[in-house]
């Protein structure tokens, strides 16, 4: 890093210390259970005697102080706090709830700067690309801001522009986050299980995706294609001719923000249908397409109420997309069905089989603990049970069995919480269990039943039929290959026997050399013995030395 870069980072660290002191974040270390006695002496002295301890203790709760501090630290830390708020497997509920209120509202940069960025990215004057371009941004966030525009063919669009200079700020702040994470792993034993460095790495990857608008455009295009023939979700069109790494041009959509519940109700929207369609949209993305919008907070979701009796969703900002491996997808579906049927033994067994808990876990003990957590919850009507919070409770319980954080499930958990929360705001009687269970049963039947086996065979039938004419030749070649493998196995066995004989001969030779060497050393020593060398000691010195060197060579040589 350059001298200027080092100076900027030192200045940034100084600002972080001032903000942390003002909000008395040093007290959060004790709340988190960090063993302060294990910190280096200099760190302990700084915590004990830093000037911030002279400031009055704020009246707010520790969780609120953390949120206010992150907002003061700026957009990168705000976005990190938003992501951290989804990690309820890491944070106490009060902290996770408070961090969800973090606001990603940043002062916009000037319209003239946006014009310059767009013109440079497109390589043409703005008036050649757009018939109109709104100088005032429609919205401004930490990474980018959005302007309304119109193309020459009359299409209404929005133009998303990356904030100038944000890459350098993000790089410096992420370097600091890595330093904090490594310090935690070094001095806090619990942190090793929570993998703070991996959390920062996931955040770095996430915010890196947000900085590359070509990546967001590709995600948007894929999600749009997945729902082309569906009435559940509409995704705006990407205008690729005007899209670059730092500029994204999308179709402008017109809908009611999902948070405007009163406006939706006053328009006569079927709120139950809208809430249930949200759940169906989520499970379709996760299990049918394995490509789900993982940032579905209220600011990114709109509702098309052109027909209030048949409402549908509109999704924007597809920078963050989640996917599961086929194994995780399968285990997750089977776990969900086991929960629906209250089959706790199956839940415990699947956790071990999937590798989410260590293989030596006692399945029966794990089942007993899961039953103790779940039974009190299931005494309530299912419509009153939060499925997302239920999973979080289960994951927190599984920590007792050394359950590792599952990064591949974090985005899914976050999205499920958002969807369920929005669904219950729209329609408080929403029963996510009732809505999801039939979907999951149909999906599992398609994946694991006789129909799935027949479908797999049907999909591979053309390839199998194409190979039938070659089957006799393939069988003949297989026989020849088996004979060749038998010959190779015999040759390999003979080679191993020869190597073994050679090793044994070498070992025998080495023993003989060592024995001869010892005899030579002994003979040399005898030549120098007082009785033998008394007549002419000088005459004995040369042969004795030769025998000694020769003996040493025999003992220590490798060949």
Q: What is the pLDDT of residues 242-284, one digit of tens each?
A: 999 999 999 999 999 988 889 999 999 999 999 989 888 988 9
C-alpha span between 276 and 260 (Å, rounded)? 18
Encoded tokens for 485: 């493998």
Q: Note whether 220 and 318 are within 8 A (CB).
A: yes
Confidence band of 339 (pLDDT split at 50, 70, 90): confident
CA distance 89 to 395: 6
Instruction: Give the mean pLDDT of 5-28.
Output: 72
The mean of the pLDDT values for the chain is 78
- The confidence score (pLDDT) of residue 105 equals 63
Q: Which of 89, 173, 295, 328 is catalytic?
A: 295
Question: In the chain, what percentage of residues exceed pLDDT 90?
Answer: 21
In this prediction, residue 15 carries a pLDDT of 76
What pLDDT, in 10s, does the model give residues 150-199?
A: 999 999 999 999 999 888 888 888 888 888 888 777 766 666 666 778 77
Given a contact cutoff of 8 angstroms between Cβ atoms, the answer to whether 385 and 429 are in contact is no
Query: Hey, what are 185's tokens?
Result: 């792993």
- Quote the DSSP letter at residue 306: S
Predicted pLDDT at 149: 96
What average pLDDT score do residues 292-305 get? Answer: 86
- More confident of the two residues 29 and 321: 321
Instruction: Read off the tokens for 387.
Output: 């499925």
Asked if residue 47 has pLDDT above 80, the reply is: no
What are the tens digits of pLDDT across the range 482-498?
777 677 777 777 777 77
Q: CA-based angle 206:187:9, to the nearest 5? A: 50
The answer to whether 283 touches 439, Cβ cutoff 8 Å, is yes
Angle between helices 326-340 and 407-426 (to 10 degrees): 50
Instruction: Quote the distance between the C-alpha of residue 288 and its chain's center.
Output: 21
537 band by pLDDT with thresholds 50, 70 and 90: low
pTM above 0.85, yes or no: no
- Round to whole Å and give the CA distance between 224 and 244: 19
Specify whether 295 is catalytic.
yes
Burial class (CB in 10 A: 0-12, 13-18, 19+), 290: middle
- Res 357: pLDDT: 80
Question: Six-digit token pair at 464?
Answer: 């199998």
Residue closest to 180 by CA, chosen among 20, 6, 409, 410: 20
Q: pLDDT tens digit string along 456-479?
A: 555 555 665 666 676 676 666 766
Mean pLDDT to the nearest integer, 434-453: 70
Closest among 383, 381, 377 to 420, alpha carbons compared: 383
Tell me the backbone φ, ψ of residue 141, rounded to 5 degrees: -130, -170
CA–CA gap between residue 224 and residue 315 (Å, rounded):
9
């Amino acid at each position: 890093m350059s001298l200027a870069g080092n100076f900027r980072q030192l200045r940034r660290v100084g600002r972080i210390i001032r903000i942390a002191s003002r909000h008395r974040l040093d007290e959060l270390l004790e709340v988190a259970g960090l063993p302060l006695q294990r910190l280096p002496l200099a760190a302990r002295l700084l915590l004990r005697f830093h000037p911030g301890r002279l400031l009055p203790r704020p009246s707010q709760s520790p969780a609120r102080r953390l949120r206010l501090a992150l907002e003061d630290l700026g957009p990168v830390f705000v976005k990190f706090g938003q992501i951290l708020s989804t990690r309820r497997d890491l944070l106490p509920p009060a902290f996770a709830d408070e961090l969800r209120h973090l606001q990603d509202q940043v002062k916009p940069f000037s319209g003239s700067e946006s014009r310059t960025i767009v013109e440079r990215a497109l390589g043409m004057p703005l008036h050649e690309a757009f018939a109109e371009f709104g100088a005032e941004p429609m919205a401004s966030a930490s990474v980018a801001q959005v302007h309304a525009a119109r193309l020459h063919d009359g299409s209404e669009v929005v133009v998303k522009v990356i904030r100038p200079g944000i890459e350098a700020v993000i790089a410096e702040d992420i370097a600091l986050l890595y330093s904090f994470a490594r310090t935690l792993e070094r001095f806090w034993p619990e942190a090793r299980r929570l993998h703070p460095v991996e959390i920062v790495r996931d955040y770095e990857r996430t915010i890196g995706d947000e900085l590359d608008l070509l990546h967001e455009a590709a995600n948007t295009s894929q999600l749009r294609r997945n729902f082309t023939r569906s009435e559940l979700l509409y995704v705006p069109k990407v205008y690729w001719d005007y899209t670059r790494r730092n500029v994204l041009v999308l179709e402008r959509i017109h809908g009611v923000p999902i948070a405007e519940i009163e406006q939706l109700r006053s328009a006569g929207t079927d709120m139950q249908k809208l809430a249930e369609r949200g759940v169906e949209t989520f499970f379709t993305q996760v299990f049918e397409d394995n490509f789900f919008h993982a940032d579905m907070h209220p600011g990114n979701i709109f509702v098309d109420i052109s027909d209030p009796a048949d409402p549908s969703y509109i999704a924007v900002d597809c920078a963050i997309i989640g996917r599961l491996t086929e194994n995780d997808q399968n285990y997750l579906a089977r776990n969900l069905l086991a929960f629906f049927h209250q089959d706790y033994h199956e839940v415990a067994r699947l956790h071990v089989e999937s590798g989410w808990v260590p293989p030596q876990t006692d399945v029966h003990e794990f089942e007993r603990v899961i039953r103790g957590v779940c039974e009190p919850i299931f005494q309530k009507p299912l419509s009153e049970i939060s499925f997302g919070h239920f999973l979080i409770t289960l994951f927190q319980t599984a920590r007792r069995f050394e359950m590792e954080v599952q990064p591949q499930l974090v985005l899914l958990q976050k999205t499920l919480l958002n969807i369920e929360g929005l669904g219950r705001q729209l329609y408080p009687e929403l029963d996510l269990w009732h809505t999801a269970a039939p979907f999951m049963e149909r999906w599992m039947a398609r994946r694991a039943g006789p129909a799935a086996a027949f479908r797999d065979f049907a999909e591979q039938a053309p390839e199998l039929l194409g190979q039938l004419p070659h089957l006799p030749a393939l069988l003949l070649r297989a026989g020849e290959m088996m004979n060749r493998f038998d010959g190779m196995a015999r040759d390999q066995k003979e080679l191993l026997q020869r190597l073994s004989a050679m090793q044994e001969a070498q070992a025998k030779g080495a023993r003989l050399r060592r024995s001869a060497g010892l005899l030579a050393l002994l003979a040399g020593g005898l030549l120098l013995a007082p009785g033998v060398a008394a007549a002419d000691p000088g005459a004995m010195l040369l042969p004795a030395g030769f025998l000694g060197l020769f003996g040493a060579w025999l003992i220590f040589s490798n060949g």
